[in-house]
Amino acid sequence: MRLLLAAPLLAAALAGCDMLGIDSPEKVAAVREADGKAIGGACRHAGRAIEDCYALNKKAERAAVFAGWREMNDYMRENKIDEVRPTLAGPGTPPPTAAAPEADAPEDKPKVKPGEPAKAKGKRHDA
């Protein structure tokens, strides 16, 4: 009798797994494939070669990355869309060709090179 009452409760509890944030393997696989396609499409739009895309995104599924890259390539060809070069240089990214004019930068602020910490104003108190 208890087993007969416990079966519907167990089924109701297992049906609510999505509400608890527990993902099914199918859902995880679908998310990984969608992420891979998005990565591939973004790489193609940025003008990166597929090999560079693989090297920069080692954890992404290669088949999904290639599918996204190919879909974006076809879309860009059909609609005559040019590549958009990234403005932030990452590993393996060539620097942008158009340099920003130096005259636009205010002279009263010190220039900080990328990778250097900004100097804090005021006194520093060490404990």
Closest CA to 66 of 37, 28, 32, 35: 37
pLDDT of residue 100: 47
Segment 89-113 shows an average pLDDT of 54
| pLDDT at 102 exceeding the cut of 80 | no
Mean pLDDT, the chain, integer: 75
Query: Higher pLDDT residue, 119 or 62?
Result: 62
CB atoms within 10 A of CB 28: 10
Answer yes or no: are the C-beta atoms of 73 and 44 closer than 8 Å.
yes
- With 0-12 / 13-18 / 19 or more C-beta atoms within 10 angstroms meaning exposed / middle / buried, residue 57 is middle
Can you tell me the mean pLDDT for 12-23? 65
Express each pLDDT in 52-72 by its tens digit. Answer: 999 999 999 999 999 999 999
| Residue 99 dihedral angles phi and psi, to the nearest 5° | -85, 145
pTM of the full predicted structure? 0.54
| Cα 65 to the center of its chain, rounded Å | 12
Q: Among 101, 86, 87, 77, which Cα is nearest to 42's?
A: 86
DSSP run (H or E) holding 26: helix 25-45
